[in-house]
Structure 1
Amino acid sequence: MFFSRRAKHLVPDLVSDRLLLRQLAARDEAEWINLRYANSKWLQPWDPTSPMGPPAAITFREMLKAKDEAAVEGSGYSWALALPQLHQSQPPLIGQVSVSSVQYGAARTASIGYWIDRNHAGFGLMPEACALVVDHCFEQLQLHRLEINIRPENTASLRVVDKLGFRDEGLRKGYLHIAGQWRDHRTFALNREELKTTMLEHIYEH
């Protein structure tokens, strides 16, 4: 696809000791659909919904095109989480980290969202993945502020922002439509100057 060739340079591979973050590709369709289905009950309480009713279903390729267009426009970026293992040419996918609502100009801000396969939760992989994305946003995209919005009941996600060292900015009433209702969220944020090292170094030290 035209957009995929361009967006590849805008969504570069990000690598840590345990993870590879990469752009989704057409070859991932079956694996991605199976991964989402296997985690549907695990993710349902936290997945965004539409107050106007269920949106029209889109195909996997339509989803890729939308992600590519967002990257080309500079409004959003998305990485699939892969778990590199020896002797595997295509590491298995285990989740996703996305950057959305990107604003430049005087604000230079964005929001980060994420999810991970239930069987891989609790091992510190998501803080590591988010650290890679935070460093990319601050160093390559030259953003100034990043925020993560979390439902107060989502204890697993709260542990992620605690590990990252994002500060709690308080409660937003009815902030997002989740699981069929307008839900309160706590906002956690970090400004670039608050981070004294790279975020990846920060989480390794803590």
Structure 2
Amino acid sequence: MTSIPTLVEGRVGIRPLRLRDTRDLDQALMTNRSWLRQWEATNPNGFTSHDVRGSIRALQTNARAGLGVPFAVELDGRFVGQLNVSGITYGSLGSATIGYWVTQDAAGHNVTPTAVALATDHCFFTLGLHRMEICIRPENAPSLRVVEKLGFRYEGLRRRYIHINGSWRDHFCFALVAEEVGDGVLRRWREGRVPAGQGSVPAEAIAEAAQTFPV
């Protein structure tokens, strides 16, 4: 796990997720259950594990295989969530996906966009990846605001993409490639240089997502 850095910007930091985070992680998940349930990935076969320690071990194993980077998210040094870089592919694709969650009391302090920017810059400039993707449910307004702030481009609607809160859910897909942010996602955002409207979802895409998918 020594290859996973600790990165800090102001009050917000991301660091390696460790087994000793089990208690804080379990407490955060229980305390914020109603806040997080609507965005929580579930198993379509009906069984979902709540083994927090086992989940951390699995993420660490994935990281040792070079397939992911699990971060704990902190605000003022306090554990407030997770950010996982997953599906890392090197070579001709050079890409990965970012997923995240934060506690309700951490919302509204720019925790998530700062954490996402730090992680994306690490993936671009240290890991040498070329493309980073984030997929968000159309109903998840706070997360849509994150990609809008950071200027992740809208790339399309993925129908019934991930099983969340008991059903297959549509997701909007957003991405950035390294060439778009030569001096970093964090710096571009902090300096107010995100192109206007780059992270916005087109009206026709919103209308399409509102249509009921035939079962």
So what's the TM-score if we normalise by structure 2?
Answer: 0.85
Contact (CA 8 Å) 1:176, 1:184: kept in 2 or not? yes
Report the 3-state secondary structure (helix = DSSP H, G, I; strand = E; otherwise coil) of the residue aligned with 1:10. coil
- Alignment pair present for 1:115 and 2:126: no
Q: CA deviation at 1:120?
A: 1.3
Other-structure match for 1:11: 4
For 1:46 and 1:56, the matched residues in 2 are separated by 16
Report the 3-state secondary structure (helix = DSSP H, G, I; strand = E; otherwise coil) of the residue aligned with 1:148. strand
Other-structure match for 2:185: 199
Q: CA deviation at 1:55?
A: 3.0
For 2:165 and 2:52, the matched residues in 1 are separated by 21
Contact (CA 8 Å) 1:97, 1:114: kept in 2 or not? yes
Of 59, 78, 83, the residue aligned with 1:67 is 59
Once the two structures are superposed, what CA deviation does each residue of 1:95-124 show, in whole Å capped at 9, x if it has no partner? Answer: 111101111121011100111111111221
Once the two structures are superposed, what CA deviation does each residue of 1:6-33 show, in whole Å capped at 9, x if it has no partner? Answer: x2x2211111112221122233222221
Contact (CA 8 Å) 2:41, 2:162: kept in 1 or not? yes
Contact (CA 8 Å) 1:82, 1:93: kept in 2 or not? yes
The one-letter code matched in structure 2 to 1:37 is M
Other-structure match for 1:4: none
- Alignment pair present for 1:167 and 2:153: yes
Structure 1's 55 and 190: CA in aligned 2 closer, same or farther, altered over 3 A?
Answer: same
Structure 1's 103 and 131: CA in aligned 2 closer, same or farther, altered over 3 A?
Answer: same
For 2:8 and 2:19, the matched residues in 1 are separated by 21
Other-structure match for 1:190: 176
Q: CA deviation at 1:57?
A: 4.0
Contact (CA 8 Å) 2:16, 2:70: kept in 1 or not? yes
Other-structure match for 1:127: 113
Other-structure match for 1:50: 43
For 1:59 and 1:81, the matched residues in 2 are separated by 16
Runs of 5+ unmatched residues, structure 1: 1-6, 85-90
Q: CA deviation at 1:48?
A: 0.6
Of 166, 171, 184, the residue aligned with 1:180 is 166
Q: How many percent identity over aligned positions?
A: 43
Of 72, 81, 93, the residue aligned with 1:95 is 81
Other-structure match for 2:137: 151
Contact (CA 8 Å) 1:102, 1:111: kept in 2 or not? yes
For 2:12 and 2:183, the matched residues in 1 are separated by 20
Structure 1's 56 and 35: CA in aligned 2 closer, same or farther, altered over 3 A?
Answer: closer
For 2:37 and 2:57, the matched residues in 1 are separated by 24
Once the two structures are superposed, what CA deviation does each residue of 1:15-58 show, in whole Å capped at 9, x if it has no partner? Answer: 11122211222332222211111111111111111111123442
Greater Cα offset, 138-147 or 189-198: 189-198
The one-letter code matched in structure 2 to 1:67 is L
Displacement over 3 Å in runs of 4+? none
Report the 3-state secondary structure (helix = DSSP H, G, I; strand = E; otherwise coil) of the residue aligned with 2:63. helix
Aligned residues: 192
